[in-house]
Amino acid sequence: MKVAIVTGASSGIGLAIVKVLLKNKYKVYGFARDFSKTEFENSRFIKVVCDITKTSILEEKVKYIIDVEKEIGMLVNNAGVGYFGPHEEINTKKLHEMIATNLEAPVILTHLLLRNLKNNFGYIINISSITAKKSSPIGCAYSATKAGLSHFSESLFDETRKAGVKVITIHPDMTKTNFYANANFREGDLEESYITGECVANAVDMVLNQREGTVLTDITIRPQKHMITKTSIKK
């Protein structure tokens, strides 16, 4: 049975991707800090409680999976965190959390799993952000981490394509999830002003069902309308 590892799998985009992978006959190890609010259950969905910014613990968990499973065919680097505002107002702890979660952990996970993915002609799917492709005045550090992830993906594909590894970067725009809990804005109220986790998961489904030899390396998903709702930051 094909095996996938998905980070940020407890809700939102990550959980939607888990469901698509299950539909495509994968066994999924989902990583998240907390699954207490995740009601979804499936015999092929193994919940792994792990803070992916704790490198030694992450490495231990992944090496265990490698020892147990022989056909690891996919890594989805989905976990992400964003703090927004003038750069000088974002404290160093939050800056470090964004760098560690959005960029460092995907690079380390890829390092740990790359040989297995090469052996299985596997997929690496990195969930970046539309902000990786444009200026983000109140999200300088966040957009930098996502731009770094996108560039890593592009270079990694060129490095590993001869080995049969498919590296895909997905750039979602405003998505209706709990991601904006740390921001003073969120998606608009109209359905046309946001995408959903299922929209991103459907893109993953499309990636998996391409003819052999075709790779969709860069996917951008945007809502039809651009609307932002101002909110208060939750403490």
CA distances from 103 to 18, 38, 50, 96, 97 (A): 21, 25, 17, 10, 10
Is 146 considered catalytic here? Answer: yes
Measure the CA dihedral 24/116/125/204, to 10°: -10
> Per the residue annotation, which of 128, 129, 150, 153 is the catalytic one?
128
Number of alpha carbons in the 13 Å side-chain half-sphere of residue 176: 13
**CB atoms < 10 A from the CB of 183, how many?**
19
Is 123 considered catalytic here? Answer: no
Structure-token pair, residue 43: 């015999």
> Per the residue annotation, which of 27, 94, 146, 176 is the catalytic one?
146
Is 135 considered catalytic here? Answer: no
Structure-token pair, residue 226: 């651009």
Structure-token pair, residue 113: 């799993």
The residues facing 29 across adjacent strands are: 5, 46
> Per the residue annotation, which of 29, 83, 123, 142 is the catalytic one?
142
Q: Catalogue the active-site residues.
A: 128, 142, 146
